């Protein structure tokens, strides 16, 4: 049987964000970055501008009002750098 991996899952309804954490079973000096913020621009004008800017590359997959094409515009972002060897570092921008 394989190694047991400690993992945690996060759900927007319960935790306020979506994500997962997998602890390295053999130890590590690496870090994980968690970014939280608002990112979706629901305006039709934003979707139209993006489709106009990137033309055929996007219009082959999406249309303006298909219900699946969204523009991500990050704002009010907080990043947390979780190191496995020191305290978390919080960066807001």
Which residues make Cβ contacts (< 8 Å) with residue 70, sequence separation at least 6? 40, 41, 42, 47
The pLDDT of residue 1 is above 60:
no
Tell me the β-bridge partners of 79: 35, 91
Structure token pair of residue 69: 């094409």
What are the tens digits of pLDDT across the range 33-89? 777 777 777 889 989 998 999 888 888 899 999 988 888 877 788 888 877 777 888
2 domain residue, yes or no: no
Q: How many domains does the chain have?
A: 1
52 domain residue, yes or no: yes
Residue pointed to by tokens 């919080």: 90
30 domain residue, yes or no: yes
Could you list the residue range(s) of the whole structural domain that residue 16 is in? 7-92
């Amino acid at each position: 049987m394989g190694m047991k991996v400690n993992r945690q899952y996060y759900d927007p309804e319960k935790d306020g964000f979506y994500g997962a954490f997998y602890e390295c079973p053999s130890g590590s000096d690496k870090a994980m970055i968690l970014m939280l913020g608002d990112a979706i621009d629901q305006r039709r004008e934003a979707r139209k501008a993006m489709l106009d800017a990137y033309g055929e590359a996007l219009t082959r997959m999406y249309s303006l009002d298909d219900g699946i094409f969204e523009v991500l515009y990050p704002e009010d972002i907080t990043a947390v750098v979780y190191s496995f060897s020191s305290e978390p570092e919080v960066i807001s921008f």
